[in-house]
Chain A
Amino acid sequence: MPIPDPIAIRHGDRLALSRALTAVENNQPESRELLSALFPFTGQAHLIGITGAPGTGKSTLVNQLAKNLRREGHPDHPPQVAIIAVDPSSPFSGGALLGDRIRMADLAGDESIFIRSMASRGALGGLAHSTASFVTLLDSAGFDLIIIETVGAGQAEVDIASLAHTVLVVEAPGLGDDIQAIKAGILEIADIIVVNKADRPGADNTARALRVMLEMAQSQTSGPQGKHISKDPCVPSTSAKPATAAWDPPVHTIVATEGKGVQAVIEDIQRHARYLKGSGLWRQKEATRLRRDLEALIRDTLVNQWQQRRDQDQFEQVLADVIQRKYSPVEAVEKLL
């Protein structure tokens, strides 16, 4: 199948976009060229991550967010919204059941919304390996907001924290997961916390417990910048930036199935974007992510280059020598490279 034309993608050809996503997902060789051609047109979209334990209502919330966000902005140019919904692949068959769309039926028929389900394909951090490349495609296609629903392993999903500008962590009452959450460090990646299913008993308790934990976490790491950002290795925590007030993650209680409380969440998402831009953190975050991507790419490329020119016989010989303790693995690497 020919690789879609980058110009078609930039001009909103949805079929071309969809085919391009597949090419990228399958790591077709030509897709690298396509991503390179589109890269200059990225960096515009607000990336919103939605994470939280299975069944807490992430997809239901995404449905509401997308529906309501489409009413924001200038009436002539309401924001275009893309959704990437990641579900786990079966480790046994490699197949996957992608069911997030079931909750997003309200969004059907809106030409300015694009929903793509994605299987994790063996990646463990809550996203798939090509989720970041999906973002590149969707960003270059002109989507203003890109919502990414993670697998929802319920643990600290570091990948989404470094990819998204704004991370929403969705909790639900009665899972006893408030303690779990702090164990797994998920609150550290949260910019906004949403306690969903407030129509069920216990939501207020969960929200209260979360607020207490947030306060405790904050008193431990107080700095001029957002707490999880100040931990970033690329941002010296001592940097003498003009003091910006730290971002205090708000806690919302909502009923996603009814849309109750969703507008307040949207206002905080927008407030967070303004906060990031106003404080310079938007750019810093992006620089950090691109640095990581670049380093990972260099690593992958070097490994590939080595794989291509490796001498299998020599490798086996050296390995045999290592097994016989003639030299150590470290010395073996020196011989092989």
Chain B
Amino acid sequence: MTEKTIRVLIAKPGLDGHDRGAKVVARALRDAGMEVIYTGLRQTPDMIAEAALQEDVDVVGLSILSGAHNALVPAVMEKLRQSGLSDVKVFVGGIIPKPDIPNLLSLGVYAVYGPGTNTQTVIEDIHQATHKPTD
């Protein structure tokens, strides 16, 4: 039986205006055999949850450089939950100060990555997160 293709939504919530990092990750995930839906800049938590639902992704990757992660991440998590998508794994990348990380993880975020994270780490983590031992 072939493994199910992993689908990932890469989204940029908030107002910060460049998405180079998000695109690098998106390409790396594609090269690792994943189907990556890229939605562009300035996504609201509503838009992200809606896209995650329509695309039935396994993973949502949020790229946040604006410093607004403490507001945006809980909002996205809540919208995903309301949409019945609690099983979707959420990853956060960007400029996140160390002290904020435990808080994000306590919200149910699977992993948080700082600048310069090796994309291989992200790929391995996604494989681990989406691996369903009994399924």
Contact = CB atoms under 8 A, between A and B. Distances in A.
Interface in B5-64: 5, 7, 26-27, 29-40, 44, 46-47, 50-51, 53-56
Contact of A94 (B7, B33, B37, B55): B33
B33 A21 contact: no
B135 interface: yes
Please give me the 5 A-B residue pairs with the lowest Cβ-Cβ distance, nearest first: A95-B30, A102-B40, A18-B56, A108-B47, A22-B56
B87 to A, nearest CB: 9
Contacts of A119: 5, 35
User: Which DSSP category, helix, strand, loop or mixed, fits chain A's interface?
Assistant: mixed
Nearest to A111: B50
Contacts of B5: 26, 94, 119, 121
Interface residues of B, number: 30
Given A101-B37, A109-B47, A117-B37, A14 B54 contact: yes
A101 B51 contact: yes
B70 interface: no
Contacts, number: 79
B84 A15 contact: yes
A308 interface: no
Interface string B98-115: 000000000000000000
A96 B135 contact: no
Nearest to A82: B54
A15 B56 CA distance: 8
Report which residue of A18, A93, A97 has the largest number of chain B beta carbons within 10 angstroms of its beta carbon: A97
Nearest to A20: B56
6 contacts: A22-B7, A26-B5, A97-B38, A98-B35, A101-B38, A108-B50
Contact of A21 (B4, B36, B56, B83): B56
A105 B30 contact: no
Nearest to A1: B135
A121 B35 CA distance: 10
A108 B83 CA distance: 15
